[in-house]
Amino acid sequence: MSHVLKARWALLLVACGPTPAPTPAPTATPTATPTANADPVAPEPPPPPVRKDGTIYAEAYQMGTRFSINLWVGEQSPAAAGVAIEAALAEIERIEQIMSEWRPSSELSQLNNAAGQASRLLSPELFEVLQRSKMICDATDGAFDPTFYGVGQLWHFEPGAVPPTREAVAAKLSLVDWRAIELDPNTLRGRLARPGMKVGLGAIAKGYGVDRASQVLKEHGFMHHIVEGGGDTYVSGTKAGAPWRVGIQRPDGPGSIAAIPASDRAIVTSGGYQRFIEVDGKRYAHIIDPRTGWPLDESSSAQSITVLADDATDADAYATAVAVMGPEKGLAYVEAHPPLEAVIVTRSGEVLVSRDLAPLLIWPSDAPPVGDAAAKQPAAPAPDPAATPFSPR
């Protein structure tokens, strides 16, 4: 086991709930007779504690955000569940190493650096995400477009960041075109056709990481779990035979707007952003409109967008596309494209729910309004993590 994974496992144990089973301090191995040359045998790590509701909970910081796994153990071994959770977290790390546009050593960075040059052999994972990205670009008429990064790299959303000039944005706009991502499914080779163009997978790789982690848990025989990373959730199977419940986080504070009972479905929330840039007194959120190269004007964009899809890769990308489309067009798009569903909180606090999802939502009877009015009310109590398996972000 690598050092990194040990650290995660320690984190996992810390994160497993308020009253973890006491872990006896390792004692001398009773049977082994130590000899001068024998390698010390590392003690087996203790199994992760199982909570009263039959779940094991773990979290780790990856892809720049908090990931969590909530796994229903049932009659299975908690120790085996611990091994499965570690493997799932390691898979997310592996995906990040391939797909981060910020890590200079990542495969994606190498592809970006070779824009305009000959095609390269791609890993199956990067090939798949680029291929699915292109399908979603096509399906959303370019509202989602990972080549936004050609111009997106000019924008920084830290406090005090200076916006690029309109001329600088206009000069890079021709680099934004998903059709210039060339992929050959026969050879798994790919290239970015225009020199200088760049792909950023910030709107889809997290969802893909969640899907991969869920797949790894299933391969280890754990079919009932929730994997969540920074608001991207995949819900697999059930909890003791009943659908899991996923809370839709309020964009303006702690607590949930409503809960969605879910099984074998992805639920991704985008928005409630802390990262903005102010230009001429206007605030802009960190999603770029690929048609203009400018970030979304905060005053006319949704406070948060939750999209449901069959997997988290799709839900992640479509949530970003719906953000670019805007609340009304985005909702109409979702309703015309099953199996997508959505819950959109508009700037004024109106909650728009797609037609087929509306009857499934569980509303808290005392939900305070969202928006300016809510800011003046006391914060809702934090959900009990054991009763509510997951509360996004």
- The contact set with ligand AMP (CB under 6 A) reads 144-146, 148, 152, 200, 202-203, 270, 286-288, 290, 316, 319-320, 323-324
* 101 half-sphere exposure, CB direction, 13 A CA radius: 19
DSSP secondary structure code for residue 234 in this structure: E
Looking at beta carbons only, is 85 or 98 nearer to ligand AMP?
Answer: 98
- Contact between residue 313 and residue 129 where contact means Cβ atoms under 8 Å apart: yes
Q: Are 48 and 17 in contact (CB under 8 A)?
A: no
Site stretch for Mg ion (CB under 5 A), options 77-85, 115-123, 189-197, 314-322? 314-322
296 belongs to the binding site for Mg ion (CB under 5 A): no
The pair of three-digit structure tokens given for residue 91, joined into one six-digit string = 């898979």
Window contacting Mg ion (CB under 5 A); options: 11-19, 201-209, 304-312, 383-391: 201-209
CB nearer to ligand AMP: give 47 or 202. Answer: 202
- Kindly tell me which of 263 and 292 has the beta carbon lying closer to ligand AMP: 292
Query: Within a 13 Å sphere around the CA of 35, how many CA atoms are in the beta-carbon half?
Result: 2
Helix segments in 100-200, DSSP class H: 107-113, 124-139, 149-152, 166-172
Q: Is 31 exposed, middle or buried (0-12, 13-18, 19+ CB in 10 A)?
A: exposed
Range list of β-strands (E), the chain: 55-62, 65-72, 120-121, 181-184, 189-192, 225-229, 232-236, 238-239, 242-249, 256-262, 265-271, 276-279, 282-289, 294-297, 304-309, 341-345, 351-353
Q: Which residue in 86, 228, 316, 341 binds Mg ion (CB under 5 A)? A: 316
Can residue 354 be called a binding residue for Mg ion (CB under 5 A)? no
- Considering the complex, state which of residue 55 and residue 306 has its C-beta at the smaller distance from ligand AMP: 306
Residue 202 binding result from Mg ion, ligand AMP, none, given CB thresholds of 5 to 8 Å by partner type: ligand AMP
Residue nearest to ligand AMP as judged by C-beta position: 202
Establish if 203 lies at the interface with Mg ion (CB under 5 A). Answer: yes
Nearer to ligand AMP, 16 or 319 (CB): 319
- Residue 141 per-residue DSSP state: T
Contact 190, 69 (CB under 8 A): no
Min dist CB 136 to ligand AMP, Å, is 9
Binding partner of residue 272 among Mg ion, ligand AMP, none, CB cut-off 5 to 8 Å per kind: none
The H or E element containing residue 97 is helix 78-99
State which residue, 256 or 304, has the beta carbon closest to ligand AMP: 304
**Is 228 near Mg ion (CB under 5 A)?**
no
Q: Is 319 in the site for Mg ion (CB under 5 A)?
A: yes
Site for Mg ion, rule CB under 5 A: 203, 316, 319-320
